Structure 1
Amino acid sequence: MVLSCALLGAGYFGKHYVRLLGEVSGARLSAVFDTALSSDAFQEIKKVHPGVKRAETFEEILNDPEIGAVIIATPASTHTSFITLALKAGKHILVEKPMTANLSDALSLERIVQESGKTLMVGHQYLYNDYIRRLKEIVDGKALGKIHSFCASHFYLGPIRRDIGCFWETATHELAILDYLFGPLMIEGVTGKAVYMRERSGIEDAATASFHSSNGLAASISVSWFSPEKVRNFFICGEKGIVLFDDIEKKEKLRLYRYPYPDKDAFKVKSSFFFEPVPQQVEVCQVDSREPLLNQLEHFIHCVQEGVSPLTDLAHGVRVTRQLAQIVDVFQG
């Protein structure tokens, strides 16, 4: 059965769902609700989806029995109300990150999702990135040995949000990746600082946080949405080597450096240890990759049609939101 979908928000990010719903099998775009969408922009959507209709109100979507799923790509502060109403109307949900704008909203969804019996999936698209999937194989295969640290940098030039801060908007990705790679985690020992360029706004524009996870991993995440250059990478250090993921790289996104950390005997004679890298110790991981958002959308369709729980389900979304709240609370101190 083809899953009939409604899209809330067809702008900055929602436009990608417009395109991909024209490419996937098993789903179609039946309706769009976006009060800011121009008539010309809607006509462009109709070129891809001739049968799509423009809903004038969200209630039109809720009351349409043919619509089985709602994809939410609107500002984070609107997510909870849209999710709640759609679930109560019997719709499945794919909501873009961040799932909610605060922890209390995330927790309020637990009972609603359970009572609805419908699928709620969070759009943490890096977990559907084939390079991150390959990285999990490396981690699970113990190629790094005992893992000690995770260090991430995520910088870009806008968009700057009005309703949530940069860390809540951006570090959602890194925290979701940590949860995926190392299992359900709790974090502790949070330290960090944030930069607020809009005084008394409570909306951070850049931030750095460090913490330990429940499995002993030390992590550091730095973010900014006011950077002249785009940087999106992280590296994981283990006793047997280092793995680097750089999303800006075109061909060498994932590299494994088989450089074992020196043991204590290395310092018996010399006060410093110098690495002598050789090409054979650096492996560029070859990955047959697809667009992560396409993988994500197909996973959602599969979960709805087969009645199985998504990889990025509500429980995962709540864990990530709880960690975001812990960290942002430290910033606001």
Structure 2
Amino acid sequence: MKRILVVGGGLIGARHVGAVRAHKGCALAGLVDPDPDCMNDGSVTRFADMADAPDNVDGVIIATPTHLHSAHGIYAASRGWHMLIEKPVAGDMAGALAVQQAVEKAEVQSLVGHHRRYHKRVARLKELLAGDIIGEVVTVSLIWAMRKPDDYFMGNWRTAGGSPVMINLVHDIDILRHVVGEITQTIALPGRALRGTDRLESGAVALGFENGATGTISFADTAPSPWGFEAGTGENPNIGTTGQDMMWITGTKGAVSFPSMTLWRGSDWSEPAVPENLSQSDDVTVPLDSQLDHFLDVMEGRARPLIDVADAARTLSVALDIEEQLTTAPGVKRYA
């Protein structure tokens, strides 16, 4: 039984606590959170600081605000704890590099919580694209749009730093890297601020991939819609499920839409493309549970990390570049 410590008792931290407590292969060593009112029902051993945790911890799940990830990851490495750090891996590239150096020095394993990689349909989409079923990828289009409740931003770190790029779009960027290929170019355009603050709320991004494909992302946290990974897959209990596709990939032999896994084949524009449903009955999974399974395997040396700190740092780099463009709008040509 691996003893797992969860650091951070917010929305995602609470889900990790539940996953660890329900898993037969590990035990909850406790929850670290300085807020005494956080999960204070007496059912969880509480620590105000990571330094208060006992030495018999095998692994730690770091689910604190992004700007704390680096310091908490470095401390976990100093204690010899294997770690699963929530995404993004750090608030900046310097922080990501510092965690990577600490992990290597301590010779502990690292995993980063881009949990969408554990969806069975994501794995099958990656296999499908690698298997040439739609030929060479030409374009990809992705939408993430929902209206977050106003109280999501009130009285917490998201008030000023709750950018949907670093909270939400970083997941989509990672999935595109994972299934399509490395991103080599980005051009971003910000949308309007509708909540009366300077916080980034919406925008559009154009992408260039190493393999020559191009892509677009449209995103907003101010617009209710049926399109988004969480809504389409039903993976987040806090977000309503619609089952609608939110990503469309075209290739030289066909196209596929996700998450329905609808394959479209056709060879000539004079004939309509023919759909084929590739979904399977076992496609419904709880990715946090699968991620925890993998974390235990990684700690035991039975598996290599699906995404470690170094890999996640590449996703972070793309997200940071996009956010910088969205907040400074360099090179944007305006028309009268």
TM-score norm. by structure 2 comes to 0.83
* Equivalent position of 1:209 in the other structure: 205
Q: Distance in 1 between matches of 2:266 and 2:21?
A: 45
Cα gap change, 1:312 to 1:225, in 2 (>3 Å): same
- Asked if 1:29 corresponds to 2:19, the answer is no
1:35-83 CA distances to partner (integer Å, 9 max, x unpaired)? 33527x3327x1xxxxx4111222112xx11112111112111111111
Q: Distance in 2 between matches of 1:328 and 1:275?
A: 42
Q: Distance in 2 between matches of 1:28 and 1:42?
A: 19
Q: Distance in 2 between matches of 1:230 and 1:96?
A: 25
Uncovered stretches (5+) of structure 2, i.e. residues with no partner: 229-245, 331-336
Q: Distance in 1 between matches of 2:281 and 2:124?
A: 7
* Equivalent position of 1:267 in the other structure: none
Code of the residue aligned with 2:74 in structure 1: it is T
- Asked if 1:288 corresponds to 2:285, the answer is no
Residue 132 of structure 2 aligns to a residue whose secondary structure is coil
Q: Which region of structure 1 is more displaced relative to structure 2, 10-19 or 208-217?
A: 10-19
* Equivalent position of 2:266 in the other structure: 259
Residue 10 of structure 1 contacts residue 37 of structure 1 at CA under 8 Å; is this kept in 2? no
* Equivalent position of 1:55 in the other structure: 47
Q: Distance in 2 between matches of 1:10 and 1:57?
A: 12
Report runs of 4+ in structure 1 exceeding 4 Å deviation: none
- Asked if 1:95 corresponds to 2:91, the answer is no
Uncovered stretches (5+) of structure 1, i.e. residues with no partner: 47-51, 247-252, 263-272
* Equivalent position of 1:144 in the other structure: 134
- Asked if 1:314 corresponds to 2:325, the answer is no
Q: Distance in 2 between matches of 1:194 and 1:151?
A: 17
Code of the residue aligned with 1:173 in structure 2: it is H
- Asked if 1:235 corresponds to 2:248, the answer is yes
Q: % of aligned pairs identical?
A: 23
1:270-304 CA distances to partner (integer Å, 9 max, x unpaired)? xxx455355xx322421513211111111011100
Code of the residue aligned with 2:76 in structure 1: it is A
* Equivalent position of 1:110 in the other structure: 100
Alignment of 1:95-244 (within 5 A): 95-158=85-148, 159-160=152-153, 161=158, 162-183=160-181, 185-188=182-185, 190-195=186-191, 197=193, 201=198, 203-232=199-228, 233-244=246-257
Q: Which region of structure 1 is more displaced relative to structure 2, 139-148 or 172-181?
A: 172-181
Deviation at 1:164, TM superposition (A): 4.3
Q: Distance in 2 between matches of 1:53 and 1:228?
A: 38
1:226-273 CA distances to partner (integer Å, 9 max, x unpaired)? 222342111111011111113xxxxxx32111234x3xxxxxxxxxx4
Code of the residue aligned with 1:236 in structure 2: it is I
Residue 23 of structure 2 aligns to a residue whose secondary structure is coil
Q: How many residues align?
A: 301
Code of the residue aligned with 2:184 in structure 1: it is I
Cα gap change, 1:275 to 1:171, in 2 (>3 Å): farther
1:170-219 CA distances to partner (integer Å, 9 max, x unpaired)? 11112211222144x2412x212113627784x31112110211111101
Cα gap change, 1:38 to 1:30, in 2 (>3 Å): same
* Equivalent position of 1:330 in the other structure: 325
Residue 256 of structure 1 contacts residue 285 of structure 1 at CA under 8 Å; is this kept in 2? no
Code of the residue aligned with 2:166 in structure 1: it is W
